Amino acid sequence: MVKLETEYLKAIGEVSIAWSALEFRVDKCIWCLLGAELRGGLCVTANITSMPVRLRILGSLVDECGNHAEELNKTAITIIKRIEGLGRRRNNIIHGSHIAPILPSPNVKRLTIRATKKLVFESEQMSAKKINKLIEDIYNIESRLGEFLMTPEFWTRQAN
């Protein structure tokens, strides 16, 4: 059996850590919008086992707490859709099959197999560099989400 390079395996692990940070940011946003204290918020979000459910809750809370402000909703929807896209990329990396090259190479074949509307069975060249781009994108959207919920416009509307 040919083993994957350490740098590649490390990048896969870092995707998990970055995603966990993003999930925690989403959780904190939900607590904040609910007006929940830390322990009460933890009780709620600890029982939400998937990111898509968290994102639906977050979108609903932004709409409700932002008094249905169209601009706030558009920004929230943009961020949520971006997170959903990153989630698909993350799932491909974390749950996909990775085939090591026979000869030393930084590139690995990652198989994509899914059957939503039709069967997709394809391979893609993957490298630690490509995975590191996903990690960067996850941290960027996590930061953007935090910035969005700290905007004065959001809290001014919520106070009304």
Contact 92/110 with Cβ under 8 angstroms? yes
pLDDT tier at 125, thresholds 50, 70, 90: confident
Query: What would the mean pLDDT of 50-78 be, rounded to a whole number?
Result: 87
Query: What would the mean pLDDT of 54-76 be, rounded to a whole number?
Result: 85
Q: Give the pLDDT confidence score for residue 155 in this predicted structure.
A: 60
pLDDT tier at 108, thresholds 50, 70, 90: confident
Per-residue pLDDT for 121 more than 90? no
Nearest of 37, 19, 144 to residue 45 by alpha carbon: 37
Query: What are the strands of the beta sheet with 119-126, ordered from one edge?
Result: 97-99, 108-115, 119-126
pLDDT tier at 44, thresholds 50, 70, 90: very high
Nearest of 132, 130, 83 to residue 110 by alpha carbon: 130
Full-prediction pTM beyond 0.85? no
pLDDT tens column, 15-37: 999 999 999 999 999 998 888 88
Residues 6+ apart with CB under 8 A from 36: 44
User: What CA–CA distance (Å, rounded) separates 88 from 27?
Assistant: 19
* Beta-carbon-side half-sphere exposure of residue 123 (alpha carbons within 13 Å): 11
Instruction: Give how far Cα 19 sits from Cα of 13, 89, 99, 151, Å.
Output: 10, 11, 23, 23
Contact 127/7 with Cβ under 8 angstroms? no
Instruction: Give how far Cα 25 sits from Cα of 70, 107, 109, Å.
Output: 23, 32, 32
Tokens, residue 42: 């933890």
Output the CA angle 83-46-29, nearest 5 degrees. 45
Which SS3 state, helix, strand or coil, does residue 113 take?
strand
- Bridge-partner residues for 124, per DSSP? 110
Q: Give the pLDDT confidence score for residue 32 in this predicted structure.
A: 87
Mean pLDDT of the chain: 85
